Structure 1
Amino acid sequence: MRLENKVVAITGGDSGIGLACARLFLAEGADVAIISNNPKTLESAKLQLGANVLAVKADVTAPETLRTAFEEISQRFGHVDVLFSGAGIAANTPLEGASAETVERVLSINLAGSFYTVQAALPYLRSGSSVILMGSIMATQGYAGLAIYAASKAGLGGMARSLATELTPRGIRVNTLVAGATQTAIWNGLVETEAQAQQVKDSVAKTIPLGRLNTADEVAQAALFLASDQSSTVHAAELVVDGGTSGAPHGAPVYLG
């Protein structure tokens, strides 16, 4: 088991990629703590994952709640070996019509929230620990109407490189997991109905060389590599999981006919 005797903390561990990571990391022998500001989904995730999982309520935009959360994690497990910063949201922010409230919310959760998460976890991260930030290919794809989401994810890449330099003397690795389109509930934040979400996903699938979206479990497998000692010299890197969208876009069905 690749994470035996390791302690993992996951923000956004109550849904989507974060929940898939929690499930996989448990199977690989880790002690797992999941963090979310939603008591309902947090409890649901804990029921799915089992009694040994520590579920902690905290808001990534409120540093004091994160500090309290990591104190609780430390009391239970003693330290943290793997930090997966997976809390994030998507929202439409067209140049004409995006509200200041939406802009600030996306940046606060996705970008500042990741910084606050690493900051709160730092006292408990040991030498040899792995920090994983949850990026997105949207940072570089130039989709109209998603400027602020793209900016938040592009910012994470820059943040990860700076944090990697800062944390190198402590023996802590920092990497970014850059996901392409993935089957999660995040699509629901961009449209009004499930049917519309499915239409968007079907359309996006045509732009992916492999012809389909990632599953959350597939992205979790890449996160497992970054979390484990198998990636012991992978540092300040971006691991892209996008079905070829970034590297070979013209292999997509929309171009091949």
Structure 2
Amino acid sequence: MSRLQNKTALITGGTSGIGLETARQFIAEGARVAVTGTSAAGIAAARAELGDKALVIQADAGNAEGQKAVAEAIKNAFGHLDILFVNAGVAEFGPIEQWTEASFDRSVAINVKGPFFLVQALSPIFAKGASIVLNTSINAHIGMPNSSVYSLTKAALLSLAKTLSGELIGRGIRVNAVSPGPIATPLYSKLGASEADSKAMAAQIQSQIPVGRFGTASEIARAVVFLASDEAAYTVGAELIIDGGMANL
């Protein structure tokens, strides 16, 4: 298909999981794609897989000042930007007693502050008719124990999708959000738990999903493709919840 033919796109956190799968689907739909990532290993792996079909940029998603450099790289490579998928994020869980100011600030910087200043930095080069999609979470809606900081950052990002949609629609820029439920991605292997604890946590989470399984990165990416495309030209300030029915419990 060619729903994104001749469009330019930036995917943050695009070197693994949902971001990488979305990059694959964007490319298949005809877009010129740039992705960002943090780790050298992830950058190398993405370059090896995507080859010359994507520009791979090393960037710290939580560094507000650094978002200007990302915007400059996009301007130099593409001249303008049609699609932004804000996907980079961190998921850290723990009871309220265990949180420190430093760990709180890290989650807020990566999940909220960085995305806000990236949109600001890219503002001058967004094309008329551009689409911004923010990757939030079902945790913005449910009271999951030990997810207080993660949930508040995703709720803030969801609020940002709604307020920016009103602010930017006058320029023809649409802002929407996807809110995934539990997705089978490398994110869960980065939580620092033992293998046994990780399996127990996964089983506990899966028991709360009515469809009885984790979602896939491909299922989220397909929704992002829709929101990024002209098929969603009348979709503004919306949230697509893709959670296997979890929020309905």
- Shorter-chain TM band: over 0.9
Distance 1:207 1:226 in 2: 27
Aligned ranges for residues 19-168 of structure 1 at < 5 Å? 19-168=20-169
SS, match of residue 97 in structure 2:
coil
> What residue is the counterpart of 2:18 in the other structure?
17
* Cα distance in structure 1, aligned partners of 2:150 and 2:49: 30
Q: TM-score, normalised by structure 1?
A: 0.93
Query: CA–CA distance in 1 between the matches of 2:18 and 2:188?
Result: 13
What residue identity is the alignment partner of 1:71?
Answer: E
Q: Is the 8 A contact 1:63 1:120 kept in 2?
A: no
CA distances 1:40-97 after superposition (whole Å, capped 9, x unpaired): 2112112111222101112222233221122122211121100000010011231112
Q: Secondary structure at the match of 1:233?
A: coil
Is the Cα contact below 8 Å between 2:136 and 2:177 reproduced in 1? yes
1:39 CA displacement: 2.5
Unpaired runs of 5+ residues, structure 1, are: 250-257
* One-letter code aligned to 1:129: A
TM-superposed CA distance for 1:191, in Å, is 4.2
Q: Is the 8 A contact 2:111 2:153 kept in 1?
A: yes
Given that 1:90 and 1:149 are in contact with CA atoms closer than 8 Å, whether structure 2 keeps it comes out as yes
The 2-side partners of 1:25 and 1:194 are apart by 33
- Give the number of equivalent residue pairs: 248
Q: Could you tell me which amino acid in structure 2 is paired with residue 177 of structure 1?
A: V
Contact 2:61 2:89 in 1 (8 A): no
- Contact 1:93/1:103 (<8 A) preserved: no
C-alpha distance in 2 between matches for 1:215 and 1:194: 21
RMSD: 1.3
- In the TM superposition, residue 184 of structure 1 has moved relative to its aligned partner by 1.0
Cα-to-partner distance string for 1:91-132 (whole Å, 9 max, x where unaligned): 123111211111110111001121112112111111100000
Partner of 2:193: 192
CA distance in 2, matches of 1:159, 1:20: 24
- Partner amino acid, structure 2, of 1:34: V
Matched residue of 2:247: which SS?
coil
C-alpha separation in 2, matches of 1:95 and 1:218: 32
Kept in 1: contact 2:27–2:53 (CA 8 A): no
Task: Give, in whole Å, the separation in 2 of the partners of 1:197 and 1:77.
Answer: 41
**Residues 13, 19 of structure 2: 8 Å contact kept:** yes
1:253 alignment counterpart: none
Q: Which residue of 2 aligns with 1:254?
A: none
Where does structure 1 differ by over 6 angstroms across 4 or more consecutive aligned residues?
A: none
Q: Is the 8 A contact 1:174 1:235 kept in 2?
A: yes
| Equivalent position SS for 2:221 | helix
C-alpha displacement at 1:168, in angstroms? 1.2
> % of aligned pairs identical?
39
Letter in 2 for 1:96: E
| Letter aligned with residue 40 of structure 1 | A
What is the distance in 1 between the residues matched to 2:191 and 2:65?
Answer: 30
> How far does the alpha carbon of each residue in 1:201-225 deviate from its partner, in whole angstroms, 9 at most, with x for none?
2221121111101111111011111
* 1:199 shift after superposition: 2.6
Structure 1 position 195, deviation (Å): 3.9
Correspondences of 1:214-233 after superposition (within 5 Å): 214-233=215-234
